[in-house]
Amino acid sequence: MAQSHTSRDVARLAGVSQSTVSYVMTGRRPISEETRLRVEAAIEQLTYERHAGARALASQRSRVVGLFVPFGDGNDTVGKLPFIENIAASARAHDHELLLVTADEGPSGLRRLAGRSLCDAMIIMDIELEDERVAVAAELPVPVILIGVPSDPRGLHCVDLDFAQAAQIAIDELSATGHDRIALLGHPADITRRRLNYVSRFIDAACEHADLLGIRLEVIAPVELGRAAAAAAVDEAMAFGAGGRLGLLVPESGNVQAVLRALNSRGSLPGRDVSVVAVCTDAMAQDAEPPVTNVSMERRDVSQRAMETLFWLLEPDQRKPPPGIALVPARLTRRQTVMPPP
Amino acid sequence: MAQSHTSRDVARLAGVSQSTVSYVMTGRRPISEETRLRVEAAIEQLTYERHAGARALASQRSRVVGLFVPFGDGNDTVGKLPFIENIAASARAHDHELLLVTADEGPSGLRRLAGRSLCDAMIIMDIELEDERVAVAAELPVPVILIGVPSDPRGLHCVDLDFAQAAQIAIDELSATGHDRIALLGHPADITRRRLNYVSRFIDAACEHADLLGIRLEVIAPVELGRAAAAAAVDEAMAFGAGGRLGLLVPESGNVQAVLRALNSRGSLPGRDVSVVAVCTDAMAQDAEPPVTNVSMERRDVSQRAMETLFWLLEPDQRKPPPGIALVPARLTRRQTVMPPP
DNA sequence: TTGTAAGCGTTATCAC
DNA sequence: GTGATAACGCTTACAA
């Protein structure tokens, strides 16, 4: 059990002053090659590491990122892990630690982390349209990145998937392949209720863009999760209009499988008799039966962008373009569920 | 943006010395009712919170728990969230923060957290039989709790599910309901390869206990995940012996659904023609079709136990029994997949 | 019951 | 280029 050493121990061993040790570590002052090597050797020998608390106290920076994770609520519990993992890796790459706070603490969690100077910046996942944390976050003395776009961002930095653009490229694809009608199989009611923001961003853009391209678009919503609801929605979609080339647009990744299954059981083979474009991760699209043409919504892209802007705020010496509300674009991957042009 | 106040500000406002403020907060010294109220009022008024770094520096305790999470690897990505959530809640209940470290950092992560005095205790999830982190952990100046039992625990505190006991009660149930042969549908090969510990604990105990009760037990292993493998294993199980009452024991929760489905498609109704006892969470058992009699393996129970011992180590004033290697018992819940006694 | 003051281990401002 | 030394904001003897 290596008794923890201090920078004084290192200084003594290297035969220099304690402050020199500090300067070697921070690099805030030119050090002669020779003494630097001696100090580094001493550090190595003692396996010395700086005391985080002392460092934070003296430097006014904790080198910690606070992450507010929405546990508990049922939705998409699996997609969150890669997100967190990505955040952690990015923090680590900048020699920062990651402090995890569960969202059920609400605004008080934000105040605690800031008040105790526990972190230099925060990321709040799953921001809802009307989120009581946003107003609190805006008053904090540390930068905050929101994942999701609230109705009033208060000048905070937001990162989210670009749902409007996602809708557009999905419809572009269906248009380019000669479809003349599109059925949008919407989201479950409780999601729509909770944070209509991304839902409405998608649906509004879809309607607008379909209109622009002169394609008929019907929105079928809400569509609950589960086989029965999906089947009913599929029936409704297929009844919509007669003949022609029909494309189904499925923005809720949890419904993709059920929709495909419902089509199959009705004798409509996706990619031959009808088209399906899903909004989901590439992994999910690939695993679907059959592999479904999708507009990718990768949380990793979002976390990446979030951490970029975070460290852009934390290390202002850089020259990269300043961020604002960052919408991560989706991209379309063609698989087997869109009919080729006639 | 509330400019952060210090305890001196509080002291000034309350008209007391700075140390008195500290004593009010720590409670390490009797304070007169009157001044205590004045101080508390001042704290409230300034929304004062102690600087975590300064506190850690002076008190030699960071009030942070380090958690090493095994991301990345594919297995059971969904079960980890409740675990982490539970840890976080428990930490919070003791006014501690949670620092997240991804396991891919390996032993260096342990050394960093300890060397920088970033946390007062650590929890390492998913310990494998031969885990290079264990030896390092044993040398650290902070207590470490292992989730899982390595081949050489080095005196560290371990918490895990009691797989041996789980096997026993499962077999007890099948025995009590008049089964005369049991097929154990084992784990996928790569799991067995990586950390045979829990696998072998289960299988060994099962064999031993079946032997003791005089029931024929056949182990079918490995059984990969997925429908095909499960179906093959089911066929093999049903071929095992002729007639009589057969019970299937499924210790890999990922295979439960597939096994039930395979039985159904062979015209064997679980609970009527054949019995199934699964090892999985209650939620999963309840959601199965049909609801499956299960031996519960709740990660929450493990995290709970881990945090209990952790804070028992951190706050030694208590009188609770000292922990060692803690094996959390499973319990059986009867549902619809075990045939009633003849 | 309360106040004074000495650390805790850094960073950063002076001097030299 | 390097060494003293004063913060940083708290906890905790030691006095009173």
DSSP B42-84: HHHHHT----HHHHHHHHS---EEEEEE--SS-TTTTTHHHHH
Mean pLDDT throughout A277-289? 91
* Gap from A154 CA to chain B (nearest CA, Å): 13
Q: Is B95 on the interface with A (CB under 8 A)?
A: no
The band of A321, judged by pLDDT with boundaries at 50, 70 and 90, is low
Cβ of B18 near strand C (under 7 Å)? The reply is: yes
| CA-based torsion, A54, A55, A58, A60: positive or negative | negative
* pLDDT value, residue A1: 42
Q: Is the CB of A58 under 7 A from strand C?
A: yes
pLDDT (mean) for A282-311: 92
Is the Cβ of B84 closer than 8 Å to some Cβ of chain A? yes
| Predicted TM-score (pTM) of this structure | 0.92
Of A1, A54, A81, Cβ closest to residue B77? A81
A77 has a pLDDT exceeding 70: no
Q: Note the strand D nucleotides within 7 A of protein beta carbons.
A: 1-5, 7-13
- A71 touches B: beta carbon within 8 Å: yes
> Which residues are registered as beta bridge partners of A146?
A124, A158
Please tell me the predicted confidence (pLDDT) of residue A289: 85
* Chain A partners within 8 Å of B83 (Cβ): none
H/E run at residue B198: helix B196-213
Closest-CA residue of A relative to B59 is A53
For the ranges A16-30, A114-128, B1-15, B265-279, the lowest mean pLDDT is seen at B1-15
- Percent of chain A at pLDDT exceeding 90: 79
Alpha-carbon distance B110 to B135, whole Å? Answer: 11
Span CA (A131) to C1' (C15), Å: 54
Task: Report which residue is nearest nucleotide C11 when distances run from CA to C1'.
Answer: A58
DSSP helix/strand/coil, A24: helix
- Specify the residue for token string 């967190």: A84
Sequence letter at residue A9: D
In chain B, what residues touch A139 (CB-CB under 8 Å)? 1-2
pLDDT at A338 over 70: yes
B52, A56: Cβ pair inside 8 Å? yes
What pLDDT is recorded for position B75? Answer: 58
Scan residues 261-280 of A and list those with Cβ closer than 8 Å to B: none
Q: What is the reported pLDDT for B227? A: 84
pLDDT of A241 > 80? The answer is no
Looking at the C1' of nucleotide D13, which residue has the nearest alpha carbon? B19
Protein-proximal nucleotides of chain C (any atom < 7 Å from a CB) = 1-5, 7-13
Give residue B212's pLDDT. 97
Question: Which pLDDT value is given to residue B245?
Answer: 94
| Shortest CA gap A1–chain B (Å) | 5
Only one residue has tokens 């050493």, namely: A5
Token pair, residue B207, equals 């064999």
What distance, in Å, lies between the first and last C-alpha atoms of chain A? 73
pLDDT score recorded for residue B1: 43
Which of B47, B53, B84 has its CB closest to that of A62?
A: B53
The verdict on A3 touching B (C-beta cutoff 8 Å) is yes
- On average, the pLDDT of chain A sits at 92
- Asked if strand C comes closer than 7 Å to B34 Cβ, the answer is yes
Quick check: A2 pLDDT over 60?
Answer: no
Burial per residue of A184-205, b for 16 or more beta-carbon CB atoms within 10 angstroms, e otherwise: bbbbbeebeebbbbbbebbbeb
Cβ neighbors of A21 (< 8 A, separation 6 or more) are A7, A10, A11, A14, A39, A42, A43
DSSP 8-state class, residue B330: P
- DSSP conformation class of A41: H
Residues A253, A186 contacting (CB under 8 angstroms): no
Q: Which residues of chain B have pLDDT under 70?
A: 1-2, 73-78, 195-196, 241-242, 317-318, 321-322
Nearest to B85 among A51, A72, A99 (CB): A72
A59 touches strand C (CB under 7 A): yes
Residue nearest to nucleotide D6 (CA to C1'): A58
- Rounded to the nearest angstrom, the minimum Cα separation between B297 and chain A is 19
**What is the average per-residue pLDDT within A298-314?**
93
Which of B243, B179, B249 has the alpha carbon at shortest distance from B216? B179
Q: According to the model, what pLDDT value does residue A197 have?
A: 77
What's the rounded mean pLDDT across residues A33-45? 98
Distance CA A299, CA A79 (A): 8
Q: How far is the CA of B57 from the C1' of C7 (A)?
A: 10
State the nearest Cα–Cα gap between A80 and chain B, in angstroms.
9
Q: What is the pLDDT of residue A13?
A: 98
The C-alpha atoms of residue B153 and residue B156 are separated, in whole angstroms, by 5
Hey, is the C-beta of A105 within 8 angstroms of any chain B C-beta?
A: yes
Contact between chains at B118 and A2 (C-beta distance less than 8 A): no
What's the CA A76/C1' D1 distance, rounded, in angstroms?
A: 58
Closest nucleotide to B23's CA, by C1' atom?
D11
- Split at pLDDT 50, 70, 90, the class of A28 is very high
Q: Please check the confidence at residue A341 and state whether its pLDDT lies above 90.
A: yes
Q: Report the range of poorest mean pLDDT among A9-13, A78-82, B112-116.
A: A78-82
